[in-house]
């Protein structure tokens, strides 16, 4: 089958098939780490595409998890912390990297909830999974819904986390703030809008 025939078949599948992302692993011709960072790396890859080749640099990410913690009245636990790349004290969800080799994502989510908010949850449910920046990073982020909250021993937080502010806000109020453009954190936006849509 020629490349043009394969491309036509692919386009037909995308235009008429079930609405879903389509895995399409490219043939990698070369791959190198061009920046070895403290938290993540930058890779440069050359790959076959169509009748030619392309080269792209991207952040090679460990993956991450986030937690939408809800109380009995559908209050959402938000945290606020300083984010230097955007020079903003950002409202967001408890979250963190999958940077412990072999750690289950839900276990990592429970660890992050405890480390950032001094809480544990009795009930866990996957809420959303998405690529945060597919044009520039391979990061896959999983958001979990957590209920049945209880206090755990307080963690000693350092660096930016030392200035975390916690706030409980009604889910409807958070949704309204997202829709009004007052909250720009994409993970928070996706999680609360998904939870709101599922509830309704």
Residue 161, pLDDT above cutoff 80:
no
pLDDT of res. 30: 95
Specify the number of domains making up the chain: 2
pTM of the model: 0.86
pLDDT number for residue 86: 84
32, 53, 112, 161: which is the annotated catalytic residue?
161
One domain, residues 75 and 165: yes
pLDDT bucket at 159, cuts 50 / 70 / 90:
low
The CA-based dihedral angle spanning residues 147, 76, 165, 128, taken in that order and rounded to the nearest 10 degrees: 80
Known catalytic membership, residue 115? no
Task: Look at residues 158, 165, 141 and name the one whose alpha carbon lies nearest to residue 91.
Answer: 165
- Statement to judge: residues 54 and 75 lie in one domain: no
pLDDT above 60 for 76: yes
Q: Which of 60, 81, 109 is at the close of a domain?
A: 60
Residues 71 and 111 in one domain: yes
Fill in the DSSP letter of residue 156.
-
* pLDDT band with cut points at 50, 70 and 90 for residue 1: very low
pLDDT in tens, 105-138: 999 999 999 999 999 999 999 999 999 999 999 9
52/133 same-domain check:
no
Edge-to-edge strands, sheet with 75-83: 88-92, 75-83, 165-170
Same domain? For 89 and 19 the reply is: no
Q: For residue 157, what pLDDT is reported? A: 63
Domain range for 56: 3-60
Residues 11 and 97 in one domain: no
95 and 44, same domain (yes or no): no
């Amino acid at each position: 089958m020629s490349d043009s025939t394969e491309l036509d078949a692919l386009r037909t599948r995308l235009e008429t098939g079930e609405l879903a992302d389509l895995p399409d692993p490219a043939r990698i011709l070369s791959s190198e780490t061009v920046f070895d960072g403290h938290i993540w790396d930058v890779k440069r890859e050359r790959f076959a595409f169509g009748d030619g080749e392309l080269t792209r640099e991207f952040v090679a990410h460990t993956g991450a998890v986030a937690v939408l913690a809800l109380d009995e009245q559908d209050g959402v636990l938000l945290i606020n912390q300083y984010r230097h790349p955007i020079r903003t004290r950002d409202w967001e969800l408890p979250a963190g990297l999958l940077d412990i080799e072999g750690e289950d994502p839900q276990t990592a989510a429970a660890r992050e909830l405890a480390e950032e908010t001094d809480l544990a949850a009795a009930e866990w449910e996957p809420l959303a999974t998405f690529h945060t920046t597919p044009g520039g990073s391979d990061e896959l982020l999983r958001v979990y819904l957590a209920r049945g909250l209880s206090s755990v021993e307080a963690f000693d937080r350092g660096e930016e986390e030392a200035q975390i502010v916690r706030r409980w806000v009604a889910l409807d109020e958070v949704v309204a703030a997202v829709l009004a453009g007052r909250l720009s954190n994409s993970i928070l936006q996706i999680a609360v809008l998904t939870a709101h849509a599922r509830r309704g």
